Amino acid sequence: MSKSLSSNLWMCEGRHAQRLRILGYYSIFCLIWVTGCEGERSVSVDPPQIPLEAFEGSVRQHLEEVVLLLDEDGSASSSEETSRKHAQAAMVYHAYDLRESAIYHYRKSLELQSDHRLSYLLAKVLMLEFLHEEAFEVLEPFSSLSPPHIVTLLSLSEIENALQRTEKSAQLLAMVLSLKPDSVPALFQKGRLLHKNGEAQEACDVMNRALQLSPGASAIRYPYALALKEIGDIEEAARQMNLRGSAMPRPSDPWLQEVMALRRGGRVHLNEGTLLFEENLYERAEASFLKALEFDPESASAHLNVGSTLLKLGRPDEARASFIESIRLDPSQPLAWFDLGVLEAATGHETLAIECYDRALDLDPDQPESRFNRGNALRRQEKYQRAVKDFERVCALRPGNTSAWLAEAVCHIRLGKNGHALKRCRLGLLATDNNARLVSMEARLLGTLSTASQEELIGVPERLQKVLAGNRNLEFVASRAMVLAALNRYPEAQQLQRDMIAAARQAGEEKIARRLLKNLENYSRGEPAVDPWPESESPVDASPVGTAPR
């Protein structure tokens, strides 16, 4: 697997957001608002006090740094510099869910300098405190940006719905879905609005689509079940009700990710787990990743790393749950979909695997790992024409990928296009500096093509002999026998075939021995081989097996 594992971190949007698991966490003093000129709210004179002694070491140190930053002599600072300090403090407090302090410093910063990003972040904290009217006042000026800012529109829609302004909420959702049709949070909100308006069938269709895109978003299942019940699908309603949970779908939100990335503590354990994983110390790596999740339960990256580790430990069901949770927290990360696809393929669920690779490629069309694995899954389902397109693209993206050239050639053979398979194989030879397996495939194609001339065949046995000098692989020996038979050197071909059959039986591989008998019979009758790559031939996929933590 690739090492470009996403490091996105997400905050919980519920009122009771997951707080740091530390003893003695105090509730913060209520923020006091006073009315300023022209009816606008201003910030209380004194910032909320924070009991620093209640926090774990690395977090306490981080908060102390913020206090020192704010205590610096600001007499010579510009308003821009002062605004920057308050913004920095607000984001740190936001990261640790110190909401009152975050609100105070976001407002102090915005008093000095307007900023869409800070206004958005302030609104998100206000929404957590159920201060929806204030959140609306902060965000509404940014509702008509060009180009539109999707997460701002989503937040405004959520606020409008909370304030019972459902028509305006629906208009904002329509705008979001026109820009991003697969936005799961928007589909979820739309489904709930449709159900509320009595349009149960339409609500079912929308929420079913949302669940297909984000299966781990279990909070969708309860309203979906209610809508299913209304349309009379009682059995499916009961199934969805049993699967209900509290996991909300999350949008891709770089600004919140930036805030959550400021957290300390969990990152140390995440890095530690990565190093342990790379040293194949999987049980210790799992412990480190779980420790990271204690600091940040909504880290998509940590859940993804836990899943990769559980796969190595042979616990696929637990790994699947971790991958689904990672996708719920960040549906925009193609690697999580890829890893889930690898897991589904490994457990025999080819159709589910293809669906996962489809989602990964929707997000990153040029991700070669997902395209290669999807091609192999399609090939195993005998959907050769579709598989060819994936392999061709992988060969263009990664010309040195021998397995992609080989798999593409096999698909062309299955489609009865052996001549085209030979052309692609020869391109692969150029791209891979005459890789041994492609030398072998070219020999097999020439040995079975009725149109191959003796001139084309004459030098092939010698090329294969050079390959065999470094690797007595059964596949390469069988290829040489095919070419010798095509050159009418049947006694030599028969002897090679007999030697291979004896070696297979000695190794207890009776299935391989039976397969080899077919060509021996052909050679004994003075006939060449017909199939350059029998279905039971050695594997060609060499599929990537999932991303490793970084």
Backbone φ and ψ of 386, nearest 5°: -70, -40
pLDDT in tens, 369-396: 999 999 999 999 999 999 999 999 999 9
* Entry pTM: 0.64
Quick one: pLDDT at residue 549? 63
Peptide bond connecting 147 to the previous residue in cis, omega within 30 degrees of 0: yes
Note whether 303 and 287 are within 8 A (CB): no
Closest by CA to 403, choosing from 361, 366, 435, 358, is 435
How is 503-546 classified by DSSP, letter by letter?
HHHHTT-HHHHHHHHHHHHHHHTT---S-SS-TTSSP-------
What are residue 35's DSSP bridge partners?
Answer: 41
Most confident listed range (48-52, 58-62, 193-197):
193-197
Question: Domain map of the chain by residue range?
Answer: 432-550
pLDDT of residue 30: 33
CB 213 within 8 A of CB 359: yes
For residues 152 and 142, is the Cβ–Cβ distance under 8 A? yes
Query: Concatenated DSSP letters for 395-429?
Result: HHH-TT-HHHHHHHHHHHHHTT-HHHHHHHHHHHH
CB 166 within 8 A of CB 160: yes
With a cut of 70, say whether residue 128 has pLDDT above it.
Answer: yes
- Position 540 scores a pLDDT of 67
For the residues 87-112, what does the mean pLDDT come to? 94
Residue 30, burial from CB neighbour count under 10 angstroms (0-12, 13-18, 19+):
exposed
> How far is 460 from 440, CA to CA, in rounded Å?
9
Tell me what pLDDT residue 538 has.
56
- Predicted pLDDT at 48: 85
Cα(97)–Cα(296) distance, rounded to whole angstroms? Answer: 11
pLDDT computed for residue 6 by the predictor? 31
User: What Cα–Cα distance (Å) separates residue 228 from each residue in 214, 246, 247, 382?
Assistant: 19, 19, 20, 36
Rounded to whole angstroms, the Cα distance separating 476 from 179 reads 53
Interval 284-303 mean pLDDT: 89
The overall average pLDDT reported for the chain is: 86
Q: Above 90 in pLDDT, residue 126?
A: yes
Q: What are the structure tokens assigned to 466, written together?
A: 């050079």
Report pLDDT for 468. Answer: 82
Which two tokens mark 223?
């309203």
Question: Per-residue pLDDT tens for 528-546?
Answer: 999 999 865 556 666 666 6
Distance separating alpha carbons of residues 211 and 154, to the nearest angstrom: 18
pLDDT value, residue 23: 30
CA nearest to 116, candidates 148, 82, 157: 148
Return the pLDDT at 8.
Answer: 29
For the cut 50, the answer to whether the pLDDT of residue 3 exceeds it is no
Give the whole-angstrom CA distance, residue 513 versus residue 502: 8
Model confidence at 58, pLDDT cuts 50, 70, 90, reads confident
pLDDT at 45: 63
